Amino acid sequence: MRRNRSQTAKRRSHHALTAARLAKCECGALRIPHHACRKCGKYDGRVVIDIVARAKRDARRAKKRQTELRESGQATESTAEKATTAQA
């Protein structure tokens, strides 16, 4: 059965996206409600994420990914440039 424009519009009237509602952390950064802060790693006033360890791990993984790409010969000029700017 063909749907007319009115029926399509009525269905699509529920498709609108709403903006994310963000709460302010005690450190001042915006965070998703009911989630730990990505900036300071705190939830409900106590530290639940080791931010320093996570930063180190992410840096190590990015470096490993770059070396693997370079060894496989897939690394392009732009990605190599990005890696050097990220380190600086």
- Residue with Cβ nearer Zn ion (27 or 59): 27
Please answer whether residues 37 and 29 qualify as being in contact, where contact means their C-beta atoms are separated by less than 8 angstroms: yes
Question: What residue spans of 1-88 are helical by DSSP H?
Answer: 5-12, 51-72, 77-87
CB of 40 vs Zn ion, minimal distance in Å: 3
- Residue with Cβ nearer Zn ion (25 or 69): 25
- Residue with Cβ nearer Zn ion (25 or 62): 25
**Residue 54, Cβ neighbours under 10 Å: how many?**
12
Residues 2-61 that bind Zn ion (CB under 5 A): 25, 27, 29, 37, 39-40
Residue 59: CA count within 13 A, CB half-sphere: 11
**Interaction site with Zn ion (CB under 5 A):** 25, 27, 29, 37, 39-40
